[in-house]
């Protein structure tokens, strides 16, 4: 069974500042990793994914994440945030059983 830990429940950040959201996972088998974003009162939108290949993955809206197998991490970064990035961000992991296990989420609040 796999599990996901998002180390920060709330991250306040000023507009145009960088942000990093931390995600660690545990799994005994190979994993596939995802970041989803949920804007207020909306569904889940895929930001980016790691399935195989390069450990640095780029997603939509200027986000990127790096898969670190030795540290079992998949941290999400953006060099310069906008007000519109205010949302909840979920890290998720899947392995051989296809189902997604989600972290508890990180609320990002961007202030002017």
Partner 1 sequence: EPEVTQTPSHQVTQMGQEVILRCVPISNHLYFYWYRQILGQKVEFLVSFYNNEISEKSEIFDDQFSVERPDGSNFTLKIRSTKLEDSAMYFCASSEGILEGPSSYEQYFGPGTRLTVT
- The answer to whether 11 and 79 are in contact (CB under 8 A) is no
Q: Does 90 bind partner 1 (CB under 8 A)?
A: yes
Residue 100 interacts with partner 1 (CB under 8 A): yes or no: yes
22 sits near partner 1 (criterion: CB under 8 A): no
Question: Of residues 7, 49, 59, 86, which one binds partner 1 by CB under 8 A?
Answer: 49
Query: Which is nearest to 2 in space by CA: 106, 94, 103, 72?
Result: 94
Residue with tokens 């079992």: 72
Cβ at position 102, least distance to partner 1 in Å = 4
Structural contact between residues 56 and 62, judged by C-beta atoms closer than 8 angstroms:
no
Q: Give the separation between CA 5 and CA 112, rounded to whole angstroms.
A: 29
103 binds partner 1 (CB under 8 A): yes
What residues make contact with partner 1 under the rule CB under 8 A? Answer: 32, 34, 36, 42-46, 49, 51-52, 90, 92, 94, 97-105
């Amino acid at each position: 069974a796999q599990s996901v830990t998002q180390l920060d429940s709330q991250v306040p950040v000023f507009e145009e500042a960088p942000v990093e959201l931390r995600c660690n996972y545990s799994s005994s088998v190979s994993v596939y990793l995802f970041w989803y974003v949920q804007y207020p009162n909306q569904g889940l939108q895929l930001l980016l994914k790691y399935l195989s290949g390069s450990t640095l993955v780029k997603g939509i809206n200027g986000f990127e994440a790096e898969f670190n197998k030795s540290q079992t991490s998949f941290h999400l970064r953006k060099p310069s945030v906008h007000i519109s990035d205010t949302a909840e961000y979920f890290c998720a992991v899947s392995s051989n059983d296809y189902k997604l296990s989600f972290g508890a989420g990180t609320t990002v609040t961007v202030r002017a």
